[in-house]
Chain A
Amino acid sequence: MRVVVVLRLVPDLTEELEIDESGTDIDREWIGIKLNEFDDHALEEAVLLKEGSGATVTALALDGEGVDRMLQSAIARGADAAVKVEHGMEHIPDQRTAAAILAGAIKELGADLILTGVQTPEDVFGQLAPFLAAHLDMPTVNAVGGVSADGDNAVDVRQEYSGGMSAILGVTLPAVLGIQTASQPPRYVSGSKLRQAMSAEIATLSGADAGAATGAEITGLQEPERGDGATMFDGDAETVAGKIVDVLNERGLLGG
């Protein structure tokens, strides 16, 4: 089974986000970037499939700043090969464009199973996995919480719904899955393994044409309208703890 896992770098949301001069994008110059956390789970699931059923794993990404290092880390995590896709765009505007570019590379690589994270923090115009599925004319399942091989040509997929409900779906390959949670938490990789992977070769492919734009555009980014907001407790930890306990007492939430 040939598994391709698509990895993306996204803004680190623990950092302060600034809106750029255009008012329609975040300022990307200084913002920290990190592997999209759902892609991290997708990579883990891909490596688990390799370990469990002898799949081969190719980590795939659109070229850009920091991408070599991300792909090398994927090799350290257990991917067999890493490929980046050239696209000639300064910034990929949305996942639909990404899907159009990546679809060509995926066809060229040949893949039985394509995994990627179910979403990123930047998916205002839609999510990658179902866009890829539409471009490649493959079935897709999203919000996936675990994948296991069912022979060479099919997988069992757990799809999660609200309220803790889920279903096991059998999918004949090829297919595209949007991974929410890996069957096991993403593994830790030692520094020495990471250093070793820094010399791993990264192949390059040319992306397909991005196709015609859909006409959807961001007209403005802003901080959310604040509701009434919380009454904030200031002071040191002891003071704040006292205030919280006071509120709990006033509301009759303490004691039997």
Chain B
Amino acid sequence: MTKVLVYIEAQGGQVTGTSLELIAAAQSLGGTVEALVLDADPAGLTGQVKGADTILTMADAALSPYLPEAHAKALAHVVAERSPDVVLVAYSSTGLDLGPVVAVKANRPLVSYCTKLAIEDGAVVAQSQAYGGKLTAASKAPLPAVVAITPGSYREEDVADRAGATESIAAPAGLGDLRTRFKSAQTPDPDAIDITQCDKLLCVGRGIGDADSIDIAREVAAKIGAEIAGSRPVIDAGWLPKERQVGKSGNKVKPRLYLAVGVSGAPEHLEGMGSAELIIAVNSDAKAPIFDHAHFGTTVDLFDLLPALSERLGGG
């Protein structure tokens, strides 16, 4: 019977929704599901885990706050002890730290960006996003394997309840000897704009070209009563402040209106806005993935469209 080990991620004392999506993915493979909770005091998190046959816990002061080095050592140790057929991590900052390290240490193949997973003939058969979501890669990797699942690929609601007996595992010796230290946590500035609370957003992407061109987008945003937001390349270039970032490394938003201008719709961006009520996309590339998720779209050049929209919307 297939045994799947799910690495449970927590943020601020809460098990992430993505971790529960991993349990849904694990259950879809049939077989048994073991959920692994690594924390200084796992009891607070185990109660939030559902759908596992066994909840494995490891308690050690080094395990929280999160340190990549500590969690990689702990996870590699558990993988060696439990020999699961499949190890599931999320494609997240944490999953990036852990998946490849554990794969090398345990000499297993790793499949990343996975959106769909099955087991056939002793191998994982996966679909992954590749090339910024422009292509889908089907792949096969022999068991035992490690798989990093893209958030949003499975649904937390699909998790069926299971007994979830708890079993504790002793921490490996190496946790007392780390080269990484937690120094401080940074939370978003409470005085900065919170775009997750905005009703309407106009998000500019790389296609906007430069910082000055955002002015015309601002003009349109003002006329429709929207706040301006940006995709990662726009924020990384310093054209808009970090608190206005939409996507995996920014904010997850769900406005009534999301007007995406010059945004290609990489998976990391879609993760942050895919559930907006109305998505209108403007991108000159007809094959941009954003159009698969938008309700309305156009390939008209944004530098023609934004002035035309501003004109049409009038004095505002």
Contacts and interface: CB of A to CB of B under 8 A. Distances in A.
Interface of A: 11, 13-14, 16-17, 19, 26, 37, 41, 95-96, 118-119, 121-127, 129-131, 133-135, 139-143, 145, 156, 158-172, 175, 178, 180-182, 184-185, 214-227, 229-238, 240-245, 247-248, 251, 253-254, 256
Given A124-B112, A141-B97, 20 more contacts: A13-B134, A13-B264, A96-B104, A121-B132, A123-B113, A125-B139, A143-B93, A160-B93, A163-B252, A172-B179, A172-B180, A216-B109, A217-B139, A218-B138, A219-B125, A229-B292, A231-B296, A237-B307, A237-B308, A240-B298
Contacts of A143: 93, 96, 249
Contacts of B135: 17, 19, 26, 221-224
Interface string B38-64: 000000000000000000000000000
Interface residues of B, number: 101
17 contacts: A13-B264, A14-B285, A17-B134, A126-B100, A127-B112, A134-B105, A139-B69, A167-B66, A184-B238, A216-B142, A217-B139, A221-B138, A224-B135, A227-B293, A230-B292, A240-B298, A248-B257
A169 B294 contact: no
Contacts of B82: none
B233 interface: yes
Contacts of A127: 96, 100, 112
Contacts of B264: 13
B197 interface: no
B232 to A, nearest CB: 8
B131 A126 contact: no
Tell which of B112, B293, B307 has the most Cβ of chain A within 10 Å.
B112
Contacts of B140: 216-217, 219
A127 B101 CA distance: 10
Nearest to A133: B101
Task: Classify the secondary structure of B's interface with A.
Answer: mixed
Contacts of B278: 247, 251, 253
A165 B11 contact: yes
Contact of B224 (A13, A180, A254): A254
Given A17-B134, A227-B293, A169 B141 contact: no
A161 B68 CA distance: 12
Given A130-B100, A143-B93, A165 B111 contact: no
A167 B305 contact: no
